[in-house]
Amino acid sequence: MPANLTPEYLAAEASFKAARELPERIEALEEMLRVIPKHKGTDHLRGDLRRKLSELREDQKSAAKRGGARRADPGYVPRQGAGQAVLLGPANVGKSALLAALTRAEPEVAPYPYTTRKPLPGMMQFEDAQIQLVDAPAIEPDVYEPWMNSLVRNANLGLVVLDPAHPGVLGTIDEVQALIGRGRVKLCGAWWALGEGAAPAQEQARAGQDAGRELGDDELLARLDPGDVELPVLVLVNKLDLEQNRAELGVLSELLGPQWPLVPVSAQSGEGLDRLRELCFRALKVIRVYAKPPGKPASTETPIILPLGATVLDMARTIHKELARDLRFARIWSGRHFEGQRAARDAVLHDRDIVEINA
């Protein structure tokens, strides 16, 4: 029997996947159990959720007895902003220079390799949203640290940086995949960021096959807590301020194949960086919405970041649980609605919607 999972359940599931600390995971599982449809099609899934919740609660009790002391994970960088993108690639391809050009972070930038020895985050501005960039140490077999696995698994987006003049440039993506594969992470091209119709035919076909397909319980459980995860990536072709590198761009595009979306940039001249900001935002699959208190002007300085496909109820829950509980309806201002059009709790929101929640 189909599970027919609701958007509320899928949003709670996404929160569970993103959570790293026990209290956050427990809270997300509790929310999943609260909103999951209750019928025969979800019996097995609900049983597994209850079992998983019981295990996490036991883990929490055990941690409390031990005093909760744990060695800090050097690869863990708490997510901030609209999402976290990690810069990946070998030494001296310009990852630190890109971080410095795109954020206010001050990494050590030098012509010799391995100047970056630990993750260094910075915040990149795109319009009124911020995206967290993390400069990672070089992805090379001799210097790859085991804690890099947790850094990559926690990221929402990978930015693989290529230098066309690098002697092993054609093998860079394969080498990155081989090393982060130790953490059971698989790269996939974030073609949706480039717009409709940009993806290769095989990617469009796969998306069409998945759309509207009912998932069985086994698939749902695998998606809930998977051993393997996919990391969407954009491939940045850097140092295009050098003419010899610019000449290699077309050759790179042909030799690397159609599965990787190439983004030409230059940390030195700034070429392509504004477009990169926008592509990163699109690749994160998020939207910006703005809260309007009843009878008052909208607060449009700081957006509320929600996943693509989020509803009025998701927005209310993000603001406060009690607001979600008491929610009756909303009014939406946007280019798709007349001013203050009334909307139900399950109405899907879009980027830049202004929403008045009525409880």
Residue 71 has pLDDT above 80, yes or no: no
To the nearest 10 degrees (0 to 180), the angle between helices 273-283 and 95-102 is: 90
Q: Which CATH superfamily is domain 286-358 in?
A: Beta-grasp domain (3.10.20.30)
Q: Residue 223's pLDDT is what? A: 44
Amino acid at 259: Q
Question: Is 42 or 262 the better-scoring residue by pLDDT?
Answer: 262
Summarize pLDDT for 95-134 with one digit per residue, the tens. Answer: 999 999 999 888 766 554 555 578 999 999 999 999 999 9
> Which residues are CB-neighbours of 303 under 8 A, at least 6 positions away?
128, 129, 288, 289, 290
Task: Tell me which residue has tokens 């569970």.
Answer: 16
Residue 356 has pLDDT above 50, yes or no: yes
Residue 184 has pLDDT above 60, yes or no: yes
- How far, in Å, CA of 147 to CA of 290, rounded? 37
From-to residues of CATH 3.10.20.30 in the chain: 286-358
Lowest mean pLDDT among 88-92, 162-166, 254-258, 282-286: 254-258
Residue 261 has pLDDT above 80, yes or no: yes
Residue 206 has pLDDT above 70, yes or no: no
Lowest mean pLDDT among 109-118, 154-163, 325-334: 109-118
- Closest by CA to 45, choosing from 33, 60, 61, 34, is 33
How far from the centroid of its chain's Cα atoms is residue 190's Cα?
11
Residue 307 has pLDDT above 90, yes or no: yes
From-to residues of CATH 3.40.50.300 in the chain: 84-283
Residue 330: count other Cβ atoms within 10 Å of its Cβ: 25
How does residue 146 score in pLDDT terms, banded at 50, 70 and 90? confident
Beta bridge partners of 37: none
Residue 217 has pLDDT above 60, yes or no: no
Q: Which CATH superfamily is domain 84-283 in?
A: P-loop containing nucleotide triphosphate hydrolases (3.40.50.300)
Q: Residue 235's pLDDT is what? A: 96
SS3 306: strand
Average pLDDT over residues 155-171: 92
- Percent of the chain at pLDDT above 70? 85
Average pLDDT over residues 277-288: 96
Q: Residue 179's pLDDT is what? A: 92
Q: Residue 69's pLDDT is what? A: 47
How does residue 193 score in pLDDT terms, banded at 50, 70 and 90? very high
Dihedral over Cα of 209, 210, 213, 214: its sign: positive
Average pLDDT over residues 199-211: 54
> Which residues are CB-neighbours of 134 under 8 A, at least 6 positions away?
77, 84, 85, 86, 87, 119, 120, 121, 122, 151, 155
72 touches 248 (CB < 8 A): no
Lowest mean pLDDT among 29-33, 211-215, 245-249: 211-215
Lowest mean pLDDT among 56-70, 103-117, 171-185, 204-218: 204-218
